[in-house]
Structure 1
Amino acid sequence: MPQKQAAATAQQVEEKPDNSNARLVRDSGSIAIATLVSRITGFGKTVLLLTVLGPAIASAFTVSSTIPTMISELLLGAVLTAIVVPTLVRAEKEDADGGAAFVRRLVTAAFTVLATGTVLATALAPVLTRHVFLSDDGKVNTALTTALTYLLLPAVLFYGMSALLMAILNTHGRFKPGAWAPVLNNIVVLVVLGLYALTPGEITLNPVRMSEPKLLLLGVGVTLGVVVQVVSLLPTIRREGIDLRPLWGVDARLKQFAGMGAAIILYVFISQAGLTISTRISSHWDIAGPAIYQNAWALLQLPYGVIGVTLLTAIMPRLSRNAAADDTPAVVDDLGAATRLTMIALMPIVTFFTFAGPQIGQAMYGYGRFGGDAARLGEAVSWSAFTLIPYAMVLIHLRVFYAREQAWTPTWIILGITTVKVVLSVAAPTFVSADHVVIALGVANGFGFLSGAIIGGWLLHRSLGDLRMANVGQTITRVVLASLAGGAVLLIVDKVLGLHRLSDTFGGFGSLVRVGITAIVMFGVAFGLMRLLGIPEIVAITVAISRRLGITPPAPDLDLDGTPLEDIHETTLLPKPDLRAAPYYYRFDPYLDAQTMVLPVIRPDAVELTEKTEFPYPVRQASATARSGVPADSPRGTPDSARTPDGGFRTTSEAGAAVPAPIHRSSTYQGEGGTRVSDDAAGGVPAAESATAAGGGLSTDTPPSGNAGGKSGGPVDSEARPGGAGDDGGPEHLPEDEDHAGPETGVYEAISPQMPPMRVESPSKRIQRGPKLTPGASVAGGRYRLLASHGGARGLRFWQALDVKLDREVALTFVDADQQATDNSGHDGPQAILSRTLRLGRINSPGLARVLDVVRGSSGGIVVAEWTPGRSLKEMADTVPSPIGAARAIRALAAAAEMAHRGGGSLSIDHPDRVRISAAGDAVLAFPGTLSDSDAQSDVRGLGAMLYALITARWPIRIGGLSGSVATVGGLPLADFGPDGTPVEPRTIRPEVPFEISAVAVRSLESNKGVRTAATVQHVLEQASVVDQKTDFIPVLRLGQKPPSAPDETLADPELLAAEKERSQRMMWILVGLGILAALVVGVIIWWLLSVFAPGSSNAPLNEQRNIGLTSSAAPPSSPGASQAPASAPATGGVPVPVTGATVFSPEGTPDNVGSIGSVLDNNPATTWRTDAYFQQFPALKKGVGVLTTLGSPSKLTKVIIESPSPGTQVEIRTSPTASPTLDQTQLIGSAVLGDGTTEIPVRADQPARYVLVWITQLANNGGQFQSSIAEIRFESSI
């Protein structure tokens, strides 16, 4: 019977159509809607909870609801996410019963653990609340928290089972039930809170009775929501035929993850320990502390969940795959991209939250019973908003470590986070007041995550090597500056327009409008500046949006499929805009449907997994094992058709061309243009001028220590040798050592780069064909995207490309692109060419494009150099340039050649396709590549040829026996030759050419004509370029006449110069705008300081001027039970009541002017007590301030007499049961607006009181500042 059931289950799993991708696509829309609805209802639930409950009950509820979620996460949640879910998928695929037995065991074990944990936690509820999360002498009511905890702890079982059932349904392709279940939970809680608000009465806090209807409704109702969440999944479980009957036992799969499970549990425990300590501290000092702390963090999570996670969704799975495959360069690139996206997405939001935090708090939570603390919650958001950045970085780091199966590394990170957080949290009450402790806890949490990001970055640096964050730093700097500029404009607009009146007049709804206006201003300025500063991601978004709206034309059609293979010497012109103006048209646009270039198709089954290195051609490479080969009969083995005779691998394009897989590049130096190779070795032998010592160096792209599947390969071929060398020569053989398959360290000797073993056979058996280089192809592991061909020469191919990572154009010289070289590592081989060219990177000259990088392959490689904007030599020669301008242009190239010759190298100036004329009019060797036959004399000959070609538009050197009028070199026809075999002098073709220039062009072509060095060419051209300048006479100028300008003899490109001038003017306007903005900001700051510290219209001495009143922001609360005392006729016959003492009552912040409070009782109207000077009226900055008096004995007051020189001050008279009350504990017995002089306030007290509070709710307006004074306070009673 069990076998039949298992077979039926397996058949059902196999035949079930819902497992198809089609169903996932159909359900994706519903899942997205459910996620959005869940976030909206969840946020609405939080707002309604605070609005209905108020700060005291909300804090108790927050603590009690946190306990079951923490216990559930500790028991099952984290382990379920990290371990159990992948195991479910494996069990479903591998087990004969489709994983049915594994699911039963898992559900049984999970239910048992959760139920046991629930029972134990419920029994220990008083201990948890009184001794772990709260303190007996704290502000939060422990009795109420304990009562709610009893009612909410059963949710532990349902939280865990809900997560487990969702995971099971997801593995069966059922995603909608799990997406909509939280929505049902939120709806139930919203209904419960609505019923709570409608239920009459209040929860009594002293004593707390479990039988109170509102208490039972709140606790049982919230737990019911979690139960509904679980029950809603059961119908789908039944329809899917998933068997949940108990089955005892532990599956073998779970045992192998015991170590990782322990690490994850320890991680969660450390994290929750930090949260527990923060909750205990906040509840001890602030009655609203837990509610503010938790909801401020939840408010920060809202933009991160909507924006940050959305933008990182595309890159995080790729980062995980690359990390799991030990593809170190790809991981480094993904880290850089993730960091850029994080900063671009979150930095403006962090800035907005920092500047507009109090307004956001009022807009979101400034309603009902929590209105008085909403601004304080917003202030907590403002101070802790910076946490989002390190928090996002920590999550990225953790993803890498878990993917690399370094499960214990995140534990060290969370340990550092929690340690810093706890230390700062414990110290917070020492340095801040009680009302600001919760704000300091948010700051401590931020510094904790900041330390975690630093620790994670350091550990990643140790594991991956150089993280290459230099270019990311430039982007971050621009984003930060743009965000700060937007924040400054926000403050100016808010102050100038007086938007605070919206909050003062309309409360939360007015603050919502205020936040919307300031958000539009701030984000508009910030992202506008990012667009002007050229942030690539922002430009891509704006370009895509403008195309969609029809503002700009669509991306050009490159017509790549129909591009024929032309002569290699002809430049391929692409119908595209100027890349300097909009280089992003040719980049992949992840945000919209912008047209981009298509990568060559690579069949997924043609080769094995790609190794973790970068390659010069768009091919995949076999997975490498550290010093161990992969046997041919491996289950992951490559088909015979994909293997090359030399033991490598190839891909097969649609045209049938097989491309051998190249090897890795060695890289130890991080320069401005990217990575550089560290050695000038040819064929693995270090050159004399190696950049690093043989002792070793740091590499970020060494092959992994094991294959991707985690299986050891076969033995090492004794014939294998690095570099793909042939039978002849080459380095020594690799030893057959299996001990090298250890963990990846990222460190190896620079002279012995590791590489996968390869079989070596005779060169005659090698069948190699070069890759088809076409516009749009991606090379060097996707780092560079080809844009246009610029010809080639002698086995070299010259291409203009886009560096996708650094977002700039580069010049690529493909060495042995056709892979015709038979000896890759010899003196004439491609590797030697790359090594010689690499030395040119030391030369800094206008006549040489700076060498940025060298990418080595198994046969050939790529030289990466800076791109030279301008024109090709042929294009410039066709314009018939000035001979003087041509001489000046070649002079720069001659200077570069002389510098190379002095260093013992050469440039290989041998073909017109190599040379371009820059925007400044200099001839530049734009495509470096030093061949073996190049020397100083050949460069001198090349200089003469370039000068000749630039003047005459003809090539003076016969190449490869070319002759005749139709023969061309680089698009230039051959020159006419005289009887002696020398080309016709340029003066014969163009008589205006100066003799010196014509002579050096011809004599440089022959070694016996007197011009033998590049220095000679440079010197002669310098002299010739000034020979025709007239300096003998100074022309007479009439008044107002401009001197005649000398003719421009340079070859500078006017279009490029105009574009450069336009960019300079645009940058100038940006700087002018930033300067004006800075001036406005400084002006606002000066005005604010003057308004605060200047005496205004007061005649008081400077030492009695007003103090700044910066205290917590809060809106006025609605005092339960307080009612406005009706005005009545003044009572007569009252008995004066003696007053024994007075103190300043300021529950929010430092008391005002404590030293002069005795003036209100000295019977001297000339002495007064003054409040601080405030630049905003109450309750914008605080609820109010008052004087708490102590009567000689309890009295039933009838009248309060106040003498004050501050007319317009509004006061409330309140009685207090204690000498240190909260405002909510006082009772309103009267109110009035003070006049100038004596004001009698009738009051109506129900019972005698000893403590009376004169509470100021509105200050007098004095010259734009707000301050009130009280001279005397007297009381009268009826007895």
Structure 2
Amino acid sequence: MNEKRSEQSGPIRTGVRARGGSLAPGSVVGDGRYRLLAQFGIDERAGAHLWRARDGQLRRDVALTLLVGDPADAEAARQARKTLERATHAAKFNHEAVARVLDVLTLGNGITSGEGLLGVVVTEWTKGTDLIDLVADRPVQPLAAARMVQRLAEAVERAHHSGLVLGLDHPQRLRLTTEGSLRLAFPGPLPDATLRDDVKAIGGILYLLLTGRWPLPGGPAAIPAAPHAPNGRLVPPRSLQPSVPQELSSLAVRTVEDGGPGGIRTSAAIVRALEMAAEAEERTQLIKAQMEADGDGTIWTTKKPVKDRARRRKLALGVTVLVVAAVAILAWLGMLAISFFQDDPSSGGPPINVANPTPTASASAPVNPSPNQPPSTGGQAQIGAAVGPASVTVYNPDGNGDNTSRARNTVDGDPTTIWRTDQYRQQFPAIKEGVGLLASFDKPINLAKITVAADSPGTSIEVRLADSRNPELADTRVIGTATLNGQTTDITLPQPQQAQYVIIWITQLSDTDKGYQSQIGELTFLPAQ
């Protein structure tokens, strides 16, 4: 449980402990220049203790990253020197999302061997809120989280262009400023940290803001670890917080995880993805706000109508006149109908025999059931009777899947019962590589043809084969492709394939009025005879 105090005393948390009696509020380091005020965390991976301190010479508060260790330990001293070198290089970097490095103290240069320190990174103090306190009560709203992380990602992108690693992959190194933006308050990258670690950290911070859980190793004890599925994949934020948009949920997972398709590997890619996701969520929030403001669910494009009694009286008089005129016209038409049926039937033209209608050419012509199906040939006689799979599940390597409870509708024999993807604001593969359905058979079949009944024109699909029920996309192979057009689409394989696990993988969604979404009504699997 977190205990909050004022900025003068700082927060105290379980799991934050000093290594050595000298690191306590009131003690001094750096040749007596810096007096420790409050500890704000520990990055156990580097033995880095994060403190707020008072600079006695310049009479200002500063942030100290104290590298605690035994100077006699050669390896620990070497690792600390590398961290201090990186911090020295970062002193040249200037961005509002990164606290400015003021000084770097080393053994023999501001640090004595008796202090139990290997080095100190001194940075300007960042006023605001600790990141753990920010998510202690509840996660951050998705739009606010996206905007916070976006500014931080821009700083990472600029630093990477300069060849610098910032080292922000620990939540206690960050603070939320009084202006509402995230800032790296305690710089000091690990000796072996890479550019990729900074990118993963951005995804980890987004995940933390959306869920209150930390998805990367080495996090503080005060924050719960993010859960993982039985297959080892990170559970998406949307599964923990249903209010999180699919785009942000997928973005966090794709940035954190190293394996799997559609991963984000560069800071430039995550900046672009965050911009699109934030803009999409901002539009959604604007629409919701307009609907709530109107109360009745109507969005007015200019202004609501003004109540005017005189205008309403004129409108009522006009409606009355129209009703009277309509009644008169109906009465006149009724008199004409009565007069027509009372005429001599011999003047009405030749009799019509409805018992034996004349057959039309279209009734006797063969019908092609699908616009994509070739004319009937003798080769189609090799296709056997349809085989139903034992089960159909949603296949989505980037998350839990779309409308998982309705996947069985695609093999129930009724094309009117459908499965739909989620509705996306961006076309694949902007946010994710795709989504699909995995059909599992009790035993391998000699698959020759698949018929897809779906009213989703423009949807592009791939037929893929897998060796298990939970494959990575990279481990599957494509055996056929098609673009849906019409009520049914046939996919005839060039050669029959032995298949037990078949994936209908959607790579492009249908473009609808409300976004991008595809649906499938029925899947029919036809083996070769």
Indicate the structure with greater helix content. 1
Question: TM-score scaled by structure 2?
Answer: 0.48
Higher relative contact order, chain-length normalized (CA < 8 Å, sep 6+): 2
Greater gyration radius = 1
Indicate the structure with greater strand content. 2
Question: TM-score scaled by structure 1?
Answer: 0.20
